[in-house]
Structures are given as structure tokens and as C-alpha cells.
Amino acid sequence: MGRGYSTEEIREKLISTLEDSETGMSGVEISDKIGINRITMTKYLKVFAAEGLLRQKNIGNITLWFLEPGQEAYNFPDDYFQVSPQYLDFLVKGSEEQVFSLIKNCLHSGATVNRLVLEIILPAIESVNQLFEDGKIGTAERNLLRMTISKSLQIFNQTQIVSEQKKNVVLIAADSNSSLISEAAAAAYHSEGWRVSNLGDMSSAIDVLFDLDFQKLVGKIWKQKPGLLIVVVFSETDEGLIFFTDSINPTREKSGKKMKLALYGKTSKKTKSHSDLVSEKIEDILQWSQSTFENMK
């Protein structure tokens, strides 16, 4: 710290100092502006550069510091509404660097992964799908945007979380369009301390042998059956939900109350889900998972 400032206060002062500087500032200038001794300021500049807040440019013997694009002094939870359109704008019109820098800045500013997934990432996925359906972007651009969103989620998964051995979840996408949703859910589960096994797009596994394949998988990732295992299936169609439900239920029945099944997607009134939960909202599935775990203690 410098002059009693906390790390977050120094971060905010740095953003405020550099946000209007197009030519950058030296460490000495920043030190004098903020009022922190130069040695301490140099250490903070290097730390913030490693976190993606700053970038540096060497000109002769002088090192100039610049604010990375998308860096603002956010105040969460009030500013989630502000980040959502900014993320989408960077995603569609900007660059990957701007997108990733924004995500890192949100995390450094105190945003939670769960809220970022629910309020930033999921709406962005829906917007990209809508742009595609409206004919405003083609398949190639949609896939590119989806890949950038996927890389954003990988940033969340890099956060250090201590997983709870008794909280286990398996995520299955029944089709390629559902795989990004399952990946977003995986990041949210990970942030809440769940041991996550995200199988991704399993449409190629839709055959008569999947029930045996799934039973073997459960035996490997859920040895001794500690605590709870929740399986979540994501699908755009009734057929996908029905197939995986029928394939998973034999293993679920053998495991008793320690294994639960949730389905994400739309189901017709004629469809018999034979699951513990059906929802079109990731937030509901996450809350239900946590409540189910707490009720088992």
C-alpha cells in the first residue's frame, strides 16, 4: 500500500489517471500524480500489467504506461447493467483483446463469476443467436463470436477455487448449439465450488450404448459416491432431452437419492421428463443445485 491506500483504491486511481491519456505516462509521472513513492508504484504497475489492466511501451530509457481498452472503475453490483451492452459491443464490433480485458477488469473490480455468467455471458449468447437468425451475421461470424465467448469463459475457469468433494456435477450438451450454454453453466458451477465434469457436445454419442458408457464414466469420476452428483442435460429439442434422460435414469436409479437429474430446455406438454427439474433458466438450475446439496447435509 501507499499512504494507506488499498490495492483497489490504487487501481481506481490508476484508471482515473490514465483513462484520458493517449500518449501514456511514465512511472514517475504516475507516482507523483497518485502520491505514492516511486518504488512502491513500480511494483503495483508490474502487478497490474500482469493482470491485464495496463500495458507498457519502452521508448529509449523511458517506460510509458497505458490503460488497456475496456478498463473502467466499476462498482459492483450496481454496474452489471453497464457492462452487459459494453461486452456485446466489444464482441461484435471490437476485438478479442477488448473483450478479454473487459472481463478481467470486471473480476478485478469485484464482480462474481456467477453474476457475470448470468447477466453478461448468457445474454450475449442469446444476442449472437438472434443476430444469426435475423440474417445479420453468417455462420462463419457466428462461430467466431461463439469462440470468443468460449475464451471469455476460460478466463473464469482460471480463477483459483477450492472445490468441495461432495459437490459433483456432470454437464451434457445434446447438440452443438447447446454446448456453449453448458460451458457457461460449467463456469458458474466451478465458481461455486462444484467439481465439474463438462462433457460438451455429446450428439455423436446418441446410440444404444450410451447408458453403459455413462455408467462407466460415473464410476470413474464419482468413486465411493461422496455427497451429491447432479447431471444437467442441455438440449434444443425434446428428442435430445428424452434420449439422455432415458440413458441416464438407470444409473440414477441405482444411485438412489445421491444422484439427481436436471434438464435445461423447452419441453412439450406431452413429454414425460422423468427428471428432478426442468427449466429454461440457468439461474434456477444453479439455485436448485445448491439447495439440493444443502438439504442433503
* Three state DSSP letters for 156-181: HHCCCCCCCCCEEEEEEECCHHHHHH
- pLDDT computed for residue 176 by the predictor: 94
SS3 at position 26: strand
Q: Which of 4, 45, 5 is nearest to 25 (CA)?
A: 45
Confirm whether pTM is higher than 0.85. no
Other beta carbons less than 10 A from residue 292's beta carbon? 16
- Grid cell locating 134: 435475423
Task: Indicate the SS3 state at residue 54.
Answer: strand
The domain 80-157 having CATH identifier 1.10.1240.10: the answer here is yes
Number of other residues whose CB lies within 10 A of the CB of residue 160 = 4
Residue 212: HSE in the Cβ half-sphere, 13 Å Cα cutoff: 3
Q: Does domain 7-67 have CATH number 1.10.10.10?
A: yes
Nearest residue to 294 (alpha-carbon basis) of 192, 198, 197: 192
User: What element of type H or E holds 230?
Assistant: strand 228-234
The tens place of each residue's pLDDT in the chain, 297 residues long, gives 445 677 878 888 888 898 878 889 999 999 998 988 888 999 989 988 887 788 889 988 889 999 876 667 678 888 999 999 999 999 999 889 889 888 988 887 889 999 999 999 999 999 999 999 999 999 999 999 999 999 999 999 887 888 999 999 999 999 999 999 999 999 999 999 999 999 999 999 988 889 999 999 999 999 989 999 999 999 999 999 999 999 999 999 999 899 999 999 987 766 666 899 999 999 999 999 999 999 987
pLDDT (0 to 100) of residue 63: 92
Question: Quick check: 67 and 54 in contact, CB under 8 A?
Answer: yes
**Burial of 31 (C-beta count, 10 Å sphere; 0-12/13-18/19+):** buried
pLDDT value of position 105: 83
Reduced DSSP (H G I as helix, E B as strand, rest coil) percent helix, strand, coil of the chain, to 5: 55, 15, 30
pLDDT for res 2: 46
Query: CA nearest 227: which of 189, 264, 259, 275?
Result: 259
Give residue limits of the domains in the chain. Answer: 7-67, 80-157, 167-296
Q: What is the model's pLDDT at position 97?
A: 84
206, 172 Cβ separation under 8 angstroms: no
Radius of gyration of the chain (CA): 23
Give domain 167-296's CATH superfamily. Cobalamin-binding domain (3.40.50.280)
What strand order describes the sheet that includes 228-234?
195-201, 167-173, 228-234, 259-264, 277-279
> Running DSSP on this structure, what letter comes out for residue 4?
T
CA separation for the pair 35, 41 (Å, rounded): 9
**Separation of alpha carbons 123 and 181, rounded Å:** 11
